[in-house]
Amino acid sequence: MAEAKQGLQSTIRVCHVASGDLWAGAESQAASLLRALARRPDLTLTVVLLNEGRLAEEVRTCGLEVKVIPEAHTSFLQIFREARRYLQGRSIRILHSHRYKENLLAALLARICRIPWVVRTQHGLPEAPHDLKKYKQKLVQTLDRFVARHATDRIISVSEELRAHLLKHLDPRKVVVIPNGLDTCRVSSRLSPREAKERLGLPASCRTVGYAGRLEPVKRLDLFLAVAKLISARMPEARFLIVGDGSEANPLREIARATGLEKVVLFLGHRDDIYDVLRALDVFVLCSDHEGLPMVLLEVLYLGVPVVARAVGGITDVILDGVTGILTDSSTPEPLAQACVDLLTDAERRERLSAAAVARVREKFTAERNAAEVAGLYRSLCGIK
Protein backbone atom coordinates (compact mmCIF):
# COMPACT_ATOMS: atom_id res chain seq x y z
CA MET A 1 0.00 0.00 0.00
CA ALA A 2 2.78 2.45 0.92
CA GLU A 3 4.56 1.73 -2.36
CA ALA A 4 1.35 2.32 -4.31
CA LYS A 5 0.92 5.71 -2.67
CA GLN A 6 4.35 6.78 -3.90
CA GLY A 7 3.52 6.15 -7.56
CA LEU A 8 2.85 9.17 -9.71
CA GLN A 9 0.46 9.52 -12.63
CA SER A 10 -0.26 12.59 -14.72
CA THR A 11 -3.90 11.56 -15.04
CA ILE A 12 -5.55 10.52 -11.80
CA ARG A 13 -8.22 7.85 -11.93
CA VAL A 14 -10.96 8.53 -9.39
CA CYS A 15 -14.12 6.60 -8.58
CA HIS A 16 -16.96 8.28 -6.71
CA VAL A 17 -19.26 6.09 -4.59
CA ALA A 18 -22.72 7.41 -3.74
CA SER A 19 -26.24 6.22 -3.03
CA GLY A 20 -28.33 8.14 -5.55
CA ASP A 21 -31.75 7.06 -4.30
CA LEU A 22 -32.77 10.59 -3.32
CA TRP A 23 -32.37 13.98 -4.94
CA ALA A 24 -31.49 16.39 -2.15
CA GLY A 25 -28.64 18.75 -1.36
CA ALA A 26 -25.91 16.12 -1.17
CA GLU A 27 -26.93 14.59 -4.49
CA SER A 28 -27.22 17.99 -6.15
CA GLN A 29 -23.74 18.90 -4.93
CA ALA A 30 -22.30 15.56 -6.07
CA ALA A 31 -23.79 16.07 -9.53
CA SER A 32 -22.41 19.63 -9.79
CA LEU A 33 -18.99 18.46 -8.66
CA LEU A 34 -18.88 15.50 -11.06
CA ARG A 35 -19.95 17.63 -14.02
CA ALA A 36 -17.15 20.10 -13.29
CA LEU A 37 -14.55 17.39 -12.61
CA ALA A 38 -15.51 15.64 -15.86
CA ARG A 39 -14.29 18.69 -17.78
CA ARG A 40 -10.80 18.45 -16.29
CA PRO A 41 -8.11 16.77 -18.45
CA ASP A 42 -6.06 15.74 -15.41
CA LEU A 43 -8.75 13.36 -14.12
CA THR A 44 -10.41 10.17 -15.34
CA LEU A 45 -13.66 9.57 -13.49
CA THR A 46 -16.05 6.72 -12.97
CA VAL A 47 -19.02 6.46 -10.61
CA VAL A 48 -20.53 3.63 -8.55
CA LEU A 49 -24.11 4.27 -7.45
CA LEU A 50 -26.27 2.08 -5.24
CA ASN A 51 -29.52 3.12 -6.92
CA GLU A 52 -30.90 4.31 -10.21
CA GLY A 53 -32.36 7.79 -10.04
CA ARG A 54 -31.78 11.37 -10.99
CA LEU A 55 -28.14 11.39 -9.87
CA ALA A 56 -27.39 8.54 -12.27
CA GLU A 57 -29.15 10.41 -15.07
CA GLU A 58 -27.29 13.65 -14.32
CA VAL A 59 -23.90 11.92 -14.25
CA ARG A 60 -24.51 10.07 -17.52
CA THR A 61 -25.31 13.34 -19.28
CA CYS A 62 -21.75 14.54 -18.73
CA GLY A 63 -20.32 11.41 -20.34
CA LEU A 64 -19.15 9.56 -17.25
CA GLU A 65 -19.34 5.81 -16.91
CA VAL A 66 -21.81 4.81 -14.20
CA LYS A 67 -22.05 1.42 -12.52
CA VAL A 68 -25.37 1.02 -10.71
CA ILE A 69 -25.66 -1.72 -8.10
CA PRO A 70 -29.29 -1.66 -6.84
CA GLU A 71 -29.28 -1.94 -3.06
CA ALA A 72 -32.99 -2.62 -2.53
CA HIS A 73 -32.69 -6.38 -2.98
CA THR A 74 -28.92 -6.73 -2.64
CA SER A 75 -27.01 -7.43 0.56
CA PHE A 76 -24.02 -5.34 1.54
CA LEU A 77 -21.74 -8.30 0.84
CA GLN A 78 -23.19 -8.69 -2.66
CA ILE A 79 -22.78 -4.96 -3.30
CA PHE A 80 -19.15 -5.20 -2.16
CA ARG A 81 -18.42 -8.18 -4.41
CA GLU A 82 -19.97 -6.56 -7.48
CA ALA A 83 -18.19 -3.26 -6.86
CA ARG A 84 -14.89 -5.11 -6.38
CA ARG A 85 -15.32 -6.89 -9.71
CA TYR A 86 -16.10 -3.58 -11.39
CA LEU A 87 -13.01 -1.83 -9.99
CA GLN A 88 -10.51 -4.58 -10.71
CA GLY A 89 -8.10 -3.67 -13.48
CA ARG A 90 -9.16 0.00 -13.63
CA SER A 91 -6.08 1.39 -11.85
CA ILE A 92 -8.19 3.58 -9.57
CA ARG A 93 -6.05 5.86 -7.41
CA ILE A 94 -8.75 7.48 -5.27
CA LEU A 95 -12.14 6.40 -3.98
CA HIS A 96 -14.38 9.34 -3.05
CA SER A 97 -17.52 8.51 -1.04
CA HIS A 98 -20.51 10.59 0.03
CA ARG A 99 -22.59 8.88 2.76
CA TYR A 100 -22.40 6.34 5.62
CA LYS A 101 -22.84 3.07 3.75
CA GLU A 102 -20.71 4.28 0.86
CA ASN A 103 -17.99 5.39 3.30
CA LEU A 104 -17.72 1.88 4.69
CA LEU A 105 -17.94 0.36 1.22
CA ALA A 106 -15.16 2.61 -0.07
CA ALA A 107 -12.87 1.78 2.87
CA LEU A 108 -13.29 -1.96 2.34
CA LEU A 109 -12.86 -1.71 -1.43
CA ALA A 110 -9.70 0.34 -1.02
CA ARG A 111 -8.27 -2.29 1.30
CA ILE A 112 -9.09 -5.29 -0.90
CA CYS A 113 -8.48 -3.66 -4.29
CA ARG A 114 -5.28 -1.94 -3.11
CA ILE A 115 -6.55 1.54 -3.95
CA PRO A 116 -4.11 4.00 -2.35
CA TRP A 117 -6.37 6.82 -1.19
CA VAL A 118 -9.83 7.24 0.30
CA VAL A 119 -11.62 10.62 0.40
CA ARG A 120 -15.09 11.39 1.67
CA THR A 121 -17.31 14.45 1.64
CA GLN A 122 -19.15 15.25 4.86
CA HIS A 123 -22.27 17.01 3.61
CA GLY A 124 -23.80 17.74 7.01
CA LEU A 125 -24.36 16.59 10.57
CA PRO A 126 -26.23 13.34 11.21
CA GLU A 127 -29.97 13.71 11.72
CA ALA A 128 -30.97 11.75 14.81
CA PRO A 129 -34.30 9.89 14.52
CA HIS A 130 -36.69 10.07 17.45
CA ASP A 131 -37.81 6.41 17.55
CA LEU A 132 -36.17 3.01 17.94
CA LYS A 133 -34.11 3.70 14.82
CA LYS A 134 -31.96 6.01 16.91
CA TYR A 135 -30.09 3.03 18.39
CA LYS A 136 -29.25 1.68 14.95
CA GLN A 137 -28.30 5.17 13.82
CA LYS A 138 -25.98 5.61 16.80
CA LEU A 139 -24.24 2.32 15.95
CA VAL A 140 -23.88 3.36 12.30
CA GLN A 141 -22.43 6.73 13.33
CA THR A 142 -19.92 5.06 15.66
CA LEU A 143 -18.78 2.74 12.86
CA ASP A 144 -18.62 5.63 10.41
CA ARG A 145 -16.46 7.64 12.84
CA PHE A 146 -14.12 4.66 13.21
CA VAL A 147 -13.81 4.38 9.42
CA ALA A 148 -13.13 8.12 9.15
CA ARG A 149 -10.44 7.95 11.78
CA HIS A 150 -8.64 4.80 10.66
CA ALA A 151 -9.47 4.11 7.00
CA THR A 152 -9.98 7.52 5.37
CA ASP A 153 -7.18 9.80 4.20
CA ARG A 154 -9.08 13.08 3.81
CA ILE A 155 -12.52 14.31 4.88
CA ILE A 156 -13.95 17.24 2.93
CA SER A 157 -16.10 19.45 5.15
CA VAL A 158 -18.48 21.74 3.29
CA SER A 159 -18.34 24.45 5.96
CA GLU A 160 -16.17 25.82 8.76
CA GLU A 161 -18.81 25.04 11.38
CA LEU A 162 -18.98 21.42 10.24
CA ARG A 163 -15.18 21.17 10.37
CA ALA A 164 -15.25 22.31 13.99
CA HIS A 165 -17.69 19.49 14.75
CA LEU A 166 -15.52 16.92 12.93
CA LEU A 167 -12.41 18.00 14.80
CA LYS A 168 -13.96 16.76 18.03
CA HIS A 169 -13.28 13.23 16.77
CA LEU A 170 -10.72 13.49 13.96
CA ASP A 171 -7.13 14.50 13.33
CA PRO A 172 -7.22 18.11 12.06
CA ARG A 173 -4.69 17.19 9.36
CA LYS A 174 -7.34 14.97 7.77
CA VAL A 175 -10.12 17.54 7.54
CA VAL A 176 -10.18 20.18 4.81
CA VAL A 177 -12.90 22.75 4.12
CA ILE A 178 -14.06 22.91 0.50
CA PRO A 179 -17.40 24.75 0.15
CA ASN A 180 -20.12 23.49 -2.15
CA GLY A 181 -20.28 24.99 -5.60
CA LEU A 182 -23.15 25.90 -7.88
CA ASP A 183 -23.27 25.04 -11.57
CA THR A 184 -24.40 28.53 -12.48
CA CYS A 185 -25.00 27.65 -16.14
CA ARG A 186 -27.87 25.39 -15.08
CA VAL A 187 -29.59 27.73 -12.59
CA SER A 188 -31.89 30.12 -14.41
CA SER A 189 -35.48 31.05 -15.13
CA ARG A 190 -36.88 32.86 -18.14
CA LEU A 191 -39.80 34.13 -16.10
CA SER A 192 -40.06 37.48 -14.41
CA PRO A 193 -41.21 37.39 -10.76
CA ARG A 194 -44.62 38.62 -11.92
CA GLU A 195 -44.93 35.85 -14.54
CA ALA A 196 -43.73 33.21 -12.06
CA LYS A 197 -46.42 34.22 -9.57
CA GLU A 198 -49.14 34.19 -12.20
CA ARG A 199 -48.14 30.67 -13.31
CA LEU A 200 -48.75 29.53 -9.74
CA GLY A 201 -52.15 31.19 -9.70
CA LEU A 202 -51.01 33.99 -7.41
CA PRO A 203 -51.83 37.68 -7.82
CA ALA A 204 -48.86 39.46 -9.36
CA SER A 205 -49.02 42.10 -6.63
CA CYS A 206 -48.96 39.75 -3.64
CA ARG A 207 -45.88 39.27 -1.48
CA THR A 208 -44.51 35.71 -1.35
CA VAL A 209 -42.37 33.96 1.25
CA GLY A 210 -41.16 30.42 0.70
CA TYR A 211 -39.03 27.39 1.41
CA ALA A 212 -37.84 24.57 -0.88
CA GLY A 213 -36.18 21.32 0.13
CA ARG A 214 -36.79 18.20 2.19
CA LEU A 215 -39.75 18.30 4.56
CA GLU A 216 -37.98 16.74 7.54
CA PRO A 217 -37.86 17.65 11.26
CA VAL A 218 -34.37 19.19 11.07
CA LYS A 219 -35.66 21.76 8.56
CA ARG A 220 -38.12 23.15 11.16
CA LEU A 221 -41.03 23.87 8.86
CA ASP A 222 -43.17 24.09 12.00
CA LEU A 223 -41.18 27.24 12.76
CA PHE A 224 -41.70 28.41 9.17
CA LEU A 225 -45.47 28.12 9.65
CA ALA A 226 -45.25 30.04 12.92
CA VAL A 227 -43.38 32.77 11.03
CA ALA A 228 -46.07 32.68 8.32
CA LYS A 229 -48.77 33.15 10.97
CA LEU A 230 -47.09 36.29 12.31
CA ILE A 231 -46.49 37.75 8.84
CA SER A 232 -50.05 36.99 7.73
CA ALA A 233 -51.43 38.90 10.70
CA ARG A 234 -49.56 42.01 9.54
CA MET A 235 -49.75 41.42 5.78
CA PRO A 236 -52.98 39.54 4.95
CA GLU A 237 -52.17 39.64 1.23
CA ALA A 238 -48.95 37.62 1.72
CA ARG A 239 -48.72 34.04 0.46
CA PHE A 240 -46.40 31.26 1.57
CA LEU A 241 -44.94 28.45 -0.55
CA ILE A 242 -43.56 25.15 0.75
CA VAL A 243 -41.88 23.16 -2.03
CA GLY A 244 -40.70 19.57 -1.57
CA ASP A 245 -41.61 16.24 -0.03
CA GLY A 246 -40.75 14.36 3.14
CA SER A 247 -41.99 12.77 6.32
CA GLU A 248 -43.35 16.06 7.66
CA ALA A 249 -45.63 16.82 4.69
CA ASN A 250 -48.90 15.65 6.30
CA PRO A 251 -48.16 16.96 9.82
CA LEU A 252 -47.35 20.36 8.32
CA ARG A 253 -50.64 20.43 6.43
CA GLU A 254 -52.41 19.66 9.70
CA ILE A 255 -50.63 22.56 11.41
CA ALA A 256 -51.62 24.87 8.58
CA ARG A 257 -55.27 23.84 8.93
CA ALA A 258 -55.23 24.09 12.71
CA THR A 259 -53.75 27.59 12.65
CA GLY A 260 -56.01 28.96 9.92
CA LEU A 261 -53.26 29.18 7.31
CA GLU A 262 -54.68 26.69 4.80
CA LYS A 263 -55.80 29.49 2.44
CA VAL A 264 -52.47 31.32 2.38
CA VAL A 265 -49.96 28.42 2.46
CA LEU A 266 -49.40 26.45 -0.76
CA PHE A 267 -47.87 22.98 -0.47
CA LEU A 268 -46.44 22.43 -3.94
CA GLY A 269 -44.71 19.07 -3.44
CA HIS A 270 -41.85 18.09 -5.73
CA ARG A 271 -41.41 20.38 -8.74
CA ASP A 272 -39.37 19.78 -11.86
CA ASP A 273 -39.67 23.51 -12.62
CA ILE A 274 -38.10 24.47 -9.30
CA TYR A 275 -36.23 27.53 -10.60
CA ASP A 276 -39.41 29.00 -12.05
CA VAL A 277 -41.10 28.43 -8.68
CA LEU A 278 -38.24 30.05 -6.77
CA ARG A 279 -38.45 33.05 -9.11
CA ALA A 280 -41.92 33.71 -7.69
CA LEU A 281 -40.54 34.37 -4.19
CA ASP A 282 -39.92 37.77 -2.69
CA VAL A 283 -38.15 36.24 0.34
CA PHE A 284 -36.75 32.76 0.97
CA VAL A 285 -36.63 31.52 4.58
CA LEU A 286 -34.42 28.84 6.14
CA CYS A 287 -35.43 27.82 9.66
CA SER A 288 -33.23 24.70 9.98
CA ASP A 289 -31.75 23.58 13.30
CA HIS A 290 -28.53 22.78 11.46
CA GLU A 291 -27.22 22.63 7.89
CA GLY A 292 -24.09 21.69 6.00
CA LEU A 293 -24.03 24.19 3.16
CA PRO A 294 -27.46 24.05 1.48
CA MET A 295 -27.39 23.93 -2.30
CA VAL A 296 -30.85 25.49 -2.38
CA LEU A 297 -29.40 28.50 -0.55
CA LEU A 298 -26.88 29.04 -3.34
CA GLU A 299 -29.60 28.54 -5.94
CA VAL A 300 -32.06 31.06 -4.53
CA LEU A 301 -29.33 33.63 -3.95
CA TYR A 302 -28.10 33.24 -7.53
CA LEU A 303 -31.68 33.62 -8.79
CA GLY A 304 -31.84 36.97 -7.00
CA VAL A 305 -34.15 36.02 -4.13
CA PRO A 306 -33.19 37.60 -0.79
CA VAL A 307 -32.81 35.18 2.12
CA VAL A 308 -33.72 35.30 5.81
CA ALA A 309 -32.14 32.45 7.74
CA ARG A 310 -31.11 31.16 11.11
CA ALA A 311 -27.36 31.48 11.63
CA VAL A 312 -26.52 27.77 11.59
CA GLY A 313 -23.93 25.62 9.81
CA GLY A 314 -22.56 26.72 6.47
CA ILE A 315 -25.30 29.32 6.04
CA THR A 316 -23.03 31.77 7.87
CA ASP A 317 -20.21 31.07 5.39
CA VAL A 318 -22.44 32.28 2.54
CA ILE A 319 -24.62 35.00 4.03
CA LEU A 320 -23.00 38.12 5.41
CA ASP A 321 -25.66 39.55 7.69
CA GLY A 322 -27.12 42.75 6.29
CA VAL A 323 -24.97 42.48 3.15
CA THR A 324 -25.99 39.34 1.23
CA GLY A 325 -28.98 38.35 3.38
CA ILE A 326 -30.43 38.50 6.88
CA LEU A 327 -29.36 36.20 9.72
CA THR A 328 -30.84 35.63 13.16
CA ASP A 329 -29.54 33.57 16.08
CA SER A 330 -33.04 33.04 17.43
CA SER A 331 -35.05 29.80 17.27
CA THR A 332 -38.30 31.70 17.88
CA PRO A 333 -40.56 32.98 15.07
CA GLU A 334 -40.69 36.68 15.98
CA PRO A 335 -37.21 37.77 14.76
CA LEU A 336 -37.57 35.77 11.55
CA ALA A 337 -41.02 37.21 10.88
CA GLN A 338 -39.85 40.77 11.57
CA ALA A 339 -36.89 40.36 9.21
CA CYS A 340 -39.25 39.10 6.49
CA VAL A 341 -41.70 41.97 6.96
CA ASP A 342 -38.85 44.48 6.84
CA LEU A 343 -37.72 43.06 3.50
CA LEU A 344 -41.21 42.66 2.06
CA THR A 345 -41.86 46.36 2.65
CA ASP A 346 -38.51 47.59 1.30
CA ALA A 347 -37.98 46.78 -2.38
CA GLU A 348 -34.78 48.79 -2.59
CA ARG A 349 -33.19 46.79 0.21
CA ARG A 350 -34.25 43.51 -1.39
CA GLU A 351 -32.57 44.54 -4.64
CA ARG A 352 -29.40 45.61 -2.82
CA LEU A 353 -29.12 42.32 -0.92
CA SER A 354 -29.84 40.31 -4.05
CA ALA A 355 -27.16 42.03 -6.13
CA ALA A 356 -24.54 41.48 -3.42
CA ALA A 357 -25.57 37.83 -3.00
CA VAL A 358 -25.32 37.05 -6.72
CA ALA A 359 -21.83 38.56 -6.77
CA ARG A 360 -20.76 36.52 -3.74
CA VAL A 361 -21.98 33.24 -5.22
CA ARG A 362 -20.12 33.97 -8.46
CA GLU A 363 -16.94 34.78 -6.56
CA LYS A 364 -16.88 32.08 -3.85
CA PHE A 365 -19.35 29.27 -4.55
CA THR A 366 -19.18 28.05 -8.14
CA ALA A 367 -18.86 24.44 -9.27
CA GLU A 368 -15.64 25.32 -11.12
CA ARG A 369 -14.02 26.64 -7.95
CA ASN A 370 -15.28 23.65 -5.96
CA ALA A 371 -13.91 21.20 -8.54
CA ALA A 372 -10.55 22.98 -8.73
CA GLU A 373 -10.11 22.64 -4.97
CA VAL A 374 -11.17 18.98 -4.98
CA ALA A 375 -8.82 18.25 -7.90
CA GLY A 376 -6.04 20.01 -6.00
CA LEU A 377 -6.70 17.72 -3.05
CA TYR A 378 -6.50 14.68 -5.34
CA ARG A 379 -3.18 15.88 -6.77
CA SER A 380 -1.69 16.54 -3.36
CA LEU A 381 -2.58 13.02 -2.20
CA CYS A 382 -0.98 11.51 -5.31
CA GLY A 383 2.10 13.72 -5.08
CA ILE A 384 1.36 15.62 -8.29
CA LYS A 385 1.93 19.36 -8.35
Q: What is the per-residue pLDDT for 292?
A: 93
Quick one: which of 53, 43, 55, 50 has its CA closest to 15? Answer: 43
pLDDT surpassing 80 at residue 72: yes
CB atoms within 10 A of CB 363: 9
pLDDT: which is higher, 10 or 43 = 43
Q: What percent of the chain has pLDDT over 70?
A: 95
C-alpha separations of 130 from 61, 126, 363 in Å: 39, 13, 40
The string of pLDDT tens digits covering residues 210-239 is: 999 999 999 999 999 999 999 999 999 999
d(Cα 268, Cα 21) in Å, to the nearest integer? 21
Say if residue 13's pLDDT is above 70. yes
Q: What do you get for the CA distance between the two ends of the chain, in Å?
A: 21
Q: Could you give all domains of the chain from N- to C-terminal order, each with its CATH number?
A: 2-183+366-382 (3.40.50.2000), 185-364 (3.40.50.2000)
Tens of pLDDT, residue by residue over 236-292, are 999 999 999 999 999 999 999 999 999 999 999 999 999 999 999 999 999 999 999
Give the single-character DSSP code of 271. -
- What is the SS3 assignment for 13? strand
Q: How far apart are CA 237 and CA 222, in angstroms?
A: 21
Angle at 98 between CA 175 and CA 54, to 5 degrees: 150
- C-beta separation of 15 from 118 below 8 A: no
What mean pLDDT comes out for the span 103-125? 96
CA distance linking residue 145 with residue 137, whole number of Å? 12
Instruction: Please give the model's pTM, rounded to 2 decimal places.
Output: 0.91
Specify the pLDDT at position 2: 42
Q: At residue 353, does pLDDT exceed 70?
A: yes
What DSSP string describes 145-161?
A: HHHHHHH-SEEEESSHH
pLDDT (0 to 100) of residue 137: 75
The least confident of 101-110, 141-150, 354-363 is 141-150
Residue 74's pLDDT band, with cuts at 50, 70 and 90, is confident
CA atoms of 308 and 245, how far apart (whole Å): 21
Which helix H or strand E contains 317, and what residues bound it? helix 315-318
Digit-coded pLDDT (tens) for 296-350 = 999 999 999 999 999 999 999 999 999 999 999 999 999 999 999 999 999 999 9
Q: What is the mean pLDDT of the chain?
A: 93
**pLDDT tens sequence across 163-173:** 999 999 999 99
Spacing of C-alpha 316 from chain mean position: 15
pLDDT at position 23 is 87
**Are residues 280 and 208 in contact, defined by beta-carbon separation less than 8 angstroms?**
yes
Q: pLDDT digits over 53-69, tens only? A: 999 999 999 999 999 99
Residue 369: DSSP 8-state: H
The whole-number pLDDT of residue 130 equals: 59
